[in-house]
Amino acid sequence: MSAEQFKQAAAQAAVQLVQSGMVVGLGHGSTVKYALDALAARLHAGELTGIIGIPCSKHTQNEATRLGIPLGDINAHSQIDITLDGADEVDPQLNLIKGGGGALLREKIVAQASRREVIMVDESKLSDALGTRFALPVEVLPFAWQHALDFIAGLGGNPQVREHNGMPVLSDQGNYLLDCAFGRIADPHTLARQLEGRAGIVEHGLFLGLVTDLLVAGPQGVRHLSRG
């Protein structure tokens, strides 16, 4: 099986956790696309009714609308029952690096509002320590992006402004995205606090202590891991 087939298998397994009447967070990225397809199929088959999707990006919102998935406003729901999302890197404690698709801020807002945060990955996303396989995305205000760049470099990172055709890539909020290569991150919690304490840094891609369920697809099938 290919990596894409593993992603699809993890997504299909995750969608089986959704029940009728749930408020469902809909993440962002290539694995989430497979989850949207599977969720729409269950809806159209009558297996699910009364669900409300909360999209984490404009792209996900457009895809869900195209597939006929009912959507709602996060401000109308104090708590989300379950969120389906992907990740760029996962450590043994089920901590994550996310944000390769640029939706880290909305993804974290939705994750923090969720009873269950279900992450769907193929085995290639697993690592012994965050930062060994993927640079850390950081969303910053355009007003002072160079100051954020310098600050992150002072923490030991190697930040680069994410660009497309020579222009900065913008998040859905109109902010810049920095991809920061730290190498192996020895203490993600300390790094998270340092980044959160700096004005101008809007959000970072360290998702710590948020995951409740991890579905990992590989040659041996789909494994379901739970925190604790």
CA–CA separation, 203 and 220 (whole Å): 36
Three-state secondary structure call for residue 101: coil
* 123 is known as an active-site residue: no
CB 150, CB 200: distance < 8 Å: no
Three-state secondary structure call for residue 172: coil
CA distance from start to end of the chain: 30
Kind plus residue range of the DSSP H or E element containing 111 = helix 104-112
Q: Write the DSSP string, 7-63.
A: HHHHHHHHHTT--TT-EEEE--SHHHHHHHHHHHHHHHTTS--S-EEEESSHHHHHH
Angle at 62 between CA 160 and CA 86, to 5 degrees: 50
CA–CA separation, 172 and 174 (whole Å): 6
Kindly state the tokens that stand for 227: 């925190």
Q: Determine which one of 107, 117, 139, 203 is catalytic.
A: 107
| Catalytic residue list | 107
